[in-house]
Homo-oligomer: A and B are copies of this chain.
């Protein structure tokens, strides 16, 4: 790696580290780009060479989270357990992971405008990006389809629709949990709701 690339990487990293520390310490709105650049020892304009907006720092963070989620998913794929177990494990493990950094997630979800809306249905120019945003629902849909084939999930519904329901409940529960002052277990809440979704609310 050339000196140039090396330096770029370092600067990008330094900006990111400093920002996330400052965001945690003083909040997103109360941290200015000026402060960040001053602390990072660069000019203001340089910041925008690395991140197009202040908000995009949060996007970057989110991407890292997605990477992690993907690994949790992959861990489940080849296990010899029921699809319901796989789905539950997947969602509960994500929840457990999130429980470790509630404050950070609050930052991510409550300070962002557009990103909040990653419903998994973003229109985007790049088919690449598209996949990236839909990835969570698609992952779930894979599990659901598998369950349908194995006869563990009713197959008279569209797998995508079922995955959407699961994701909707996951996402909303996450929001509720992040908003809440109480520190109940998000993962247990998830677990209970999955049970209800599988068994139905009707008598």
Which of these binds chain B: A43-51, A67-75, A93-101, A172-180?
A172-180
Please tell me if A1 contacts chain B, counting CB pairs below 8 Å. no
Please tell me if A199 contacts chain B, counting CB pairs below 8 Å. yes
Q: Within the assembled complex, what's the spacing in Å between the Cα atoms of A110 and B180?
A: 23
Q: Within the assembled complex, what's the spacing in Å between the Cα atoms of A198 and B113?
A: 33
Contact A200 B199 (CB under 8 A): yes
Contact B202 A154 (CB under 8 A): yes
Which of these binds chain B: A9-17, A18-26, A30-38, A120-128?
A120-128
Please tell me if A165 contacts chain B, counting CB pairs below 8 Å. yes
Contact A121 B180 (CB under 8 A): yes
Complex interface: chain B residues within 8 A of A114 (CB):
110
| A186-203 CB contacts (< 8 Å) to partner B | 189, 192-193, 196-203
The contact of A152 among B109, B168, B202, by CB within 8 Å, is B202
Q: Within the assembled complex, what's the spacing in Å between the Cα atoms of A164 and B109?
A: 19
The contact of A201 among B109, B123, B153, B193, by CB within 8 Å, is B153
B-binding residues in A (CB < 8 A): 84, 109-114, 116-117, 119-123, 144, 151-154, 157, 161-162, 164-165, 167-169, 171-173, 175-176, 179-181, 189, 192-193, 196-203
Closest 8 CB pairs of A and B: A200-B200, A168-B172, A198-B202, A119-B175, A121-B176, A168-B169, A121-B179, A168-B168
Given contacts A122-B179, A153-B202, 19 further A-B contacts (CB under 8 A): A109-B117, A112-B113, A117-B175, A117-B179, A121-B175, A121-B180, A123-B180, A153-B203, A157-B201, A161-B189, A161-B192, A164-B169, A164-B173, A164-B176, A165-B193, A168-B168, A171-B172, A197-B197, A200-B200
